[in-house]
A and B are shown apart, each in its own frame.
Chain A
Amino acid sequence: SQKIEQNSEALNIQEGKTATLTCNYTNYSPAYLQWYRQDPGRGPVFLLLIRENEKEKRKERLKVTFDTTLKQSLFHITASQPADSATYLCALETGANNLFFGTGTRLTVIP
């Protein structure tokens, strides 16, 4: 069965630094991978999608990479701010218009 590991349950970084979150997966080769942000008490919100033939995707201070050989995606937030504090989820497409979600990494940006 599909398995996703997100590098750590919690990550603390200093404001202004770059946060790097890791998503590793097994047993499948997804056509694309997505990243979501979830704030406490709210539903996840879509951030970025990267396809298997794309190495990197950017959106403002966000960058996602996708290495299908390593079965890994990295999610970077540059110049991090306290407002970036949230839980970040990676999700793989599994076919049939379904997604399989990781358990998430809780990021705290310390002022």
Chain B
Amino acid sequence: DAGITQSPRHKVTETGTPVTLRCHQTENHRYMYWYRQDPGHGLRLIHYSYGVKDTDKGEVSDGYSVSRSKTEDFLLTLESATSSQTSVYFCAITSGEVDTQYFGPGTRLTVL
């Protein structure tokens, strides 16, 4: 594994509650990404970061926000979770040289 951990690994929550997922890396890589993976859609980019405090939106960013106050941590927040945000969330990192991405183990989120 590329030194990436995600927490929690599983979470069940109710509609309307805030949820924060954490991605932690020990590689000191500059770029970090959050994806969601759903059947029939594959991996879709939510947000990414290209440095501390530098973030940008991906393909499916509505309803999500991110923060990166340290190189090693990238947080994904669902301000008010909806059932459509039930998914498996993956964090990834890359050194930025050739964009090969290394993925974390994933977080399975269920919004009831």
Contacts and interface: CB of A to CB of B under 8 A. Distances in A.
A97 interface: yes
Interface string A27-63: 0000010100000011111100100000000000000
B58 A98 contact: yes
Given A41-B106, A43-B90, A99 B101 contact: yes
A32 B98 contact: yes
Range class of the A interface residue count? 20 to 34
Nearest to B6: A43
Contact of A43 (B50, B58, B105): B105
A97 B94 contact: yes
Contacts of B62: none
Interface residues of B, number: 27
A85 interface: no
13 contacts: A32-B98, A34-B99, A43-B106, A44-B103, A46-B101, A49-B100, A89-B42, A97-B96, A97-B99, A99-B45, A99-B101, A100-B59, A101-B42
Contacts of A101: 35, 42-44
Q: Which 3 A-B pairs have the closest CB atoms?
A: A43-B103, A103-B42, A101-B43
Interface of A: 32, 34, 41-46, 49, 89, 91, 93, 96-104
Nearest to B39: A103
B25 to A, nearest CB: 13
Contacts of A96: 56
A55 B105 CA distance: 33
Interface in B31-80: 31, 33, 35, 40-45, 48, 50, 56, 58-59
A100 B90 CA distance: 14
B40 A93 contact: no
Contacts of B50: 97
A102 B40 CA distance: 10
Contacts of B40: 103
Nearest to B45: A98
B106 A49 contact: no
